[in-house]
A and B are shown apart, each in its own frame.
Chain A
Amino acid sequence: MFSLVAFIPRAVQQGIPLLFGSTGETITEKSGNLNLGIPGVMYVGAICGVIGAFFYEQSVPSGDLNGFLAVFIPLLCSLAGSFLMGLLYCYLTVSLRSNQNVTGLAMTTFGIGFGNFFGGSLIKLAGADVPSISLSQTSAYFSKTLPLASQTGWFGKIFLSYGFLAYVAIIISLIAAFVLKKTRTGLHLRAVGEDPATADAAGINVTKYKYIATCLGCMIAGLGGLYYVMDYACGVWSNDAFGDRGWLAIALVIFTIWKTDVGIFSSILFGGLYILYLYLPSGTHTEYKELYKMIPYVVTLVVLVITSMHNKRENQPPHSLGTNYFREER
């Protein structure tokens, strides 16, 4: 039977990778960079974490894992991997001024290939008979729930039953919303995304803001990949398992009209919609499931239609989104 208390935690777990992805992409887009490489970045973030965790688990005897290192090493590897992806994107689009769409799509293809290649290599190294690697020891640290989660009934289940990265995602999106809205850095970043020439004339270092926002955005998005493998998938990496969640994260940016705090609830809603097909009765008609899986995308299209019709200036994408800035152009 359908139970809300069981459904919400699952929706949240589905939503957290999306929240990481959309927060990262929103920060990136606020600088005027349309990074369509986010799905690839999330793959890279995930596989780098897996690589780190794999070698750490291999290097110490089973059961002797240091809790801090077991979290710290994959985290650092994941951040480093997605940071490099961000740096690559910035170098191509900001410094070399290549087309943002092409660069982003290429990076997505690259990132997924990168993930699958190293994923496949690790599976070979591990010599497993199933096409996946299981890092259950590391995963145990990542998915450790808050204390009291099991003793507080439905409250604990809905609010306390997640690994630490889930709370990190929410905190990051709240901080991002605050920074964007209330601080000078946020004001400057929004200015860069709206009209880089104006920001430049006001003495803002456009290149610096674009680099930092994009790299930071990639690192945050990469954590989404890490959360997916280590917490949601219980430390099991198998190729292509992450699926199209990266695209959903980009759709979520539009859905939240570029507001990261709105993203918290929207991502959970999207997560819920994403798994809704498991709960809707479809009997023997499996084709209905495929229709249900479309719901999040249909919702995004509806939101796009509504925000475009409303035409409120503040709810539009950053004005310079997708275009590169070159100062001495005349």
Chain B
Amino acid sequence: MNNNEIAVSLRNITKTFVGTVLANNNVNLDIKKGEILSLLGENGSGKTTLMNMLSGIYHPDAGQIIINGKEVTINSPRDAFALGIGMVHQHFKLIDIFNATENIVLGLDGKLNLAEAEKKIKAICDKYGFEINTNKKIYDMSVSEKQTVEIVKVLFRGAEILILDEPTAVLTPQETEHLFQVMRNMKEDGKSIVIITHKLNEIQSISDRVAVLRQGEFIGDMKTSDSTIKEMTDMMVGHAVSLNIDRPEPVDPQPRIKVENLTVIDEEGVVKLDNVSFTANRGEILGIAGISGCGQKELLRAIAGLEIVKEGKITYIHRDGRTEELLGMSPREISELGVKLSFVPEDRLGMGLVGNMNIADNMMLRSYRKGNSRFFTDKKTPRDLAEKVVDQLQVATPSLDTPVRQLSGGNVQKVLVGREIASEPRVLLTAYAVRGLDINSSYQIYDLINQQKALGAAVIFVGEDLDVLVELCDRILVLCEGRVTGIVDGRTTDKYTLGSMMTQKGEA
């Protein structure tokens, strides 16, 4: 903003990972002093890899890094700190059982003096407008608090160049607004900030300049004020894309799942769901919004028969009006009732798929009981299904025999969603279906979900991006600490209303 001095200059950076494609190919990028630069690109476009090289996690195969006019070698995060570079990773690098102060001073030299460190932390917080409880253990913190610790950790080391990898992915709009205010304060102080994000409206509101990477290559950069969201997306994807999420009118919405007074208490006695009641209609997408850990997971698991429920009722209503009580049944009993229920859990490689098995074998997790023989499994049908899924959803995989753990996040998700919708579900439960996916893959997933809606499934869509919830869902149920704070119409609400409903209990 105030000057055009270059803080960091990356020249012809190339990085290859063993056994995979080029992660970065000949990338040239400048970061100016006192600017906020957005780094934009699809998944696997090499943004994080590039920044990891700047922060010393990886080492480039070729190319130069020039900082303040001097060529440098960054071999470790320690070197990066010494050069004033600090990175806040997407997955926080914090030790759970340490408190904020211990995490912030981790890795520094000299005598351990926590009292003095605390004073310095307080000073940093006051300067930029952070709020932090230095004695709180990380495992007791909310995502936003953890992020604050991460940023303060970087500033504590005197970083002049901050890299934030998808910092807003897990924040509410209010928290995001606060983060942006802090970022502006840091910019005023002359610091350079690189922000990696998928959210284009955020790029517009916060950054001065945007640089685009595609498939490991630097495509170009532009001033944010001179470009539109459409231009940025086209540049990122490489061809023109439509940015609107379809929301067809529901066809003949009739109640399909009725949840009444559902209460779930976990092993430690914490109330996860408190008297939750709602109805999910067929041919409709019911969105679930809420800060993470507010009972979304338990709600889906309860419907799928995976959660121990204290009290309540979950009733499934057949097309002909017959009803079945699902509560207290195992997933197998539910499916034997003829209730076609599909669940896309948030933990894809933990609950959804087996990472070390190939695509065909993962398909079999749903059909291993089927087949003609009592003793031998039927391998043919799942293999055909795998072929169909790979074909129709354009899963990028070397072969059907590749272990799914080797696929990228988007492709893993396609395999999972593909399997779940193949059984033509009457109820489709999805948790964070597009988490970590790029724009293209996300839209493919939205399309698949919309197809199920058109086929008359009742879709329950737990999401974190409020913009998406508002555009995709017919109705949105908001959870706050296990309670329903409201059910709103997706066509008339906006994300700020949702955001304040999500935090209602805390403010009241």
Chain A 199-213: CB-based contact to B (< 8 A → 1; otherwise 0): 111111100000000
In whole angstroms, what is the CA distance A303 to B146 when docked? 32
Contact at B96–A194, with CB atoms within 8 Å?
yes
Task: Tell me which of A184, A198, A316, A319 contacts B110 (CB under 8 A).
Answer: A184
Contact at B96–A319, with CB atoms within 8 Å?
yes
A274-303 CB contacts (< 8 Å) to partner B: none
Task: Tell me which of A203, A313, A328 contacts B107 (CB under 8 A).
Answer: A203
**B18 cross-chain contacts in A, Cβ below 8 A:** 328
Task: Tell me which of B55, B112, B137 contacts A184 (CB under 8 A).
Answer: B112
> Does A150 interact with chain B (Cβ within 8 Å)?
no
Contact at A197–B95, with CB atoms within 8 Å?
no
Contact at B93–A187, with CB atoms within 8 Å?
no
**B77 cross-chain contacts in A, Cβ below 8 A:** 200-203
**Known contacts being A311-B268, A313-B137, A319-B96, is A201 close to B111, with CB within 8 Å?**
no
Contact at A202–B93, with CB atoms within 8 Å?
yes
> Does A170 interact with chain B (Cβ within 8 Å)?
no
**A194 cross-chain contacts in B, Cβ below 8 A:** 95-98
> Does B343 interact with chain A (Cβ within 8 Å)?
no
> Does B17 interact with chain A (Cβ within 8 Å)?
yes
> Does A41 interact with chain B (Cβ within 8 Å)?
no
* Interface contact tally, CB-CB below 8 A: 72
In whole angstroms, what is the CA distance A330 to B58 when docked? 11
> Does A64 interact with chain B (Cβ within 8 Å)?
no
> Does B57 interact with chain A (Cβ within 8 Å)?
yes
Q: Distance in Å from the Cβ of B177 to the closest Cβ of chain A?
A: 28
Q: Distance in Å from the Cβ of B294 to the closest Cβ of chain A?
A: 21
Contact at A328–B58, with CB atoms within 8 Å?
yes
**A245 cross-chain contacts in B, Cβ below 8 A:** none
Contact at B106–A202, with CB atoms within 8 Å?
yes
Contact at A191–B96, with CB atoms within 8 Å?
no
B71-119 CB contacts (< 8 Å) to partner A: 76-78, 81, 87, 89, 93-98, 102, 105-112
Q: Distance in Å from the Cβ of B151 to the closest Cβ of chain A?
A: 14
Contact at A187–B268, with CB atoms within 8 Å?
no
B35-63 CB contacts (< 8 Å) to partner A: 55-58
> Does A129 interact with chain B (Cβ within 8 Å)?
no
Contact at B107–A188, with CB atoms within 8 Å?
yes
**A188 cross-chain contacts in B, Cβ below 8 A:** 106-107
Chain B 365-395: CB-based contact to A (< 8 A → 1; otherwise 0): 0000000000000000000000000000000
In whole angstroms, what is the CA distance A195 to B138 when docked? 13
Known: A184-B108, A198-B94; 4 extra A-B contacts, CB below 8 A, are A184-B110, A191-B95, A202-B77, A319-B97
Chain A residues with CB under 8 Å of chain B are 182-184, 187-188, 190-191, 194-195, 197-205, 311, 313-314, 316, 319, 327-328, 330
Residue pairs across A and B with Cβ atoms less than 8 A apart, 12 shown, are: A183-B112, A184-B108, A184-B112, A187-B98, A190-B98, A191-B98, A195-B93, A195-B96, A198-B93, A198-B95, A314-B97, A319-B96
